[in-house]
Amino acid sequence: MGKKKEKEEEEKNMVKNGGIVLEEVISTGNCRCNPIRNFSVKQLKNATNNFQSPCFTGQHDWFKACLNNRTVLIKTFFRNELMTSKLAGRDIAITSQMSSHNRVLKLIGCCLELPVPALVYEDNECVPLNPRGYISGNGSALPWKTRLRIAKDVANALTYLHTTFSTPIVHRNVKPSNVFLDKDLAPKLCNFYLSISIPKGETRVEDQVAGTEGFVDPEYYNTSFVTEQSDVYGFGVFLLVLLSGKSPFEFPDLTDFVQEKPWDEVVDPKILEEEGVIEEEHKLQALRNLVLRCIQTKADDRPMMIDVAKELLQIHRI
């Protein structure tokens, strides 16, 4: 493709994607976005050596780079054939409005000149959690108190998502890889492209099933209706991963495992090896009981996210 044609394509993408982002911002009913800047394709290519050697991969590629003398994380969607401009636009719109929360990965810009926009985040030596709730890359297990703090902080971020906007927004994809840890092991929730608003005056919205197997609310899966408690279910599974050090695919039945196994068989052996953790048994038991309530099959039997956040704060303090 010639340079002139390439430039025309970039300008066309910019107009199309800019309109999508604006539409997504308006649809959330909250136009108070944190200011972000638009980076050019050329800037991103230069910063990533033409999008070579991502540091994290999965449904999308993440690159650590330097833009304007600032260390950043760049997320692209080249390998995700199901990703559309509309979903990326939703990711930009919601993340830009959530970035004021200190437990959300802060969006500082995007590139609208690509067919599917790329997102540019602040980087504070951030790494995602792996499927077992350990640190990606080196596979290091986290101390018990750090896991509890991560649970409390992610619950606060989800509560903010559910309650801050004019209508509740449901994340729909709460899982370990959508939580990054910074250099101080503080969690940062990200990837809002599957998020969906619940219409004003309603408690649910119908939509095709989306999310990650093992973390999808079974009631949503069976009925196609999303509720705030859909996130509670996903968060409950995330909580179980943090507590047990196992991915949900390692359990024949989540509820049976949590309910019937002795507490010390539910808890990650690496936690039990920690010095003085036996004095934390009441907290471990309380967390296990909270997991059980969050992963109930029926949405009405689960607590609301705000109540989960309050309970985690209490567990953290006792």
CATH number of the domain to which 302 belongs: 1.10.510.10
Nearest CA-CA partner of 71 in 183, 191, 193: 183
Is-contact 274 143, C-beta < 8 A? Answer: yes
In the listed set 122, 152, 184, which residue is the last one of a domain according to the structure? Answer: 122
* Residue 31 and residue 136 in one domain: no
The whole-number pLDDT of residue 22 equals 79
Indicate whether 41 and 149 sit together in one domain: no
Q: Are 292 and 145 in contact (CB under 8 A)?
A: no
Write out pLDDT tens, residues 152-186. 999 999 999 999 988 999 999 999 999 999 999 99
Average pLDDT over residues 111-134: 93
Number of structural domains, the chain? 2
* CB-based contact 283:315 (threshold 8 Å): yes
Q: How large is the angle between the packed helices 305-317 and 281-294, nearest 10 degrees?
A: 170
More confident residue, 189 or 30: 189
List of E strands, the chain: 37-38, 61-67, 70-76, 107-111, 118-122, 127-128, 169-170, 179-181, 187-189, 196-197, 205-206, 225-226
**Residue 118 token pair:** 């790329």
pLDDT at residue 269, as a whole number = 95
What would the mean pLDDT of 294-316 be, rounded to a whole number?
Answer: 97
According to DSSP, residue 166 is labeled S
* Claim to verify: residue 243 and residue 104 sit in the same structural domain: no
Last residue of a domain, which of 66, 89, 122?
122
Q: What is the predicted pLDDT for the residue at 11?
A: 82
Whether 159 and 256 map to the same domain: the answer is yes
What's the confidence (pLDDT) of residue 168? 94
Both 183 and 289 in one domain: the answer is yes
Q: Of 122, 155, 181, which residue is a domain's last?
A: 122
* Predicted model pTM: 0.94
Q: Is 178 found in the same domain as 293?
A: yes
Residue 293 and residue 289: Cα distance in Å, rounded?
A: 7
> How does DSSP classify residue 206?
E
| Res. 137: pLDDT tops 70 | yes
Each residue's pLDDT tens digit, 263-283: 889 999 999 999 888 888 999
User: At 53, which CATH number?
Assistant: 3.30.200.20
Whether residue 44 sits in one domain with residue 141:
no
Same domain (yes/no): 107, 135 = no
Instruction: Look up residue 7 and give its two tokens.
Output: 């430039």
Instruction: Judge whether 266 and 258 are in contact, CB under 8 Å.
Output: yes
> Which amino acid would we find at residue 217?
D
* Cβ neighbours, 10 Å, residue 61: 20
Domain that holds residue 225: 127-317
- Looking at the fold, whether 171 and 242 belong to one and the same domain comes out as yes
The answer to whether the beta carbons of residues 305 and 231 sit under 8 Å apart is: yes
Distance of alpha carbon 21 from alpha carbon 31, whole angstroms: 11
Residues 236 and 175 in one domain: yes
Helices (H), 35-141: 41-48, 85-98
Beta bridge partners of 177: none
Give CA–CA dist 118/253, Å, rounded: 38
Any bridge partners for residue 205, and if so which? 226
Task: Produce one character per residue of 148-157: b if its CB has 16 or more CB atoms within 10 Å, e if not.
Answer: bbbbbbbbbb
Q: Do residue 149 and residue 94 come from a single domain?
A: no
What integer pLDDT is reported at residue 274 of this predicted model? 93
- Same-domain pairing of 109 and 186: no
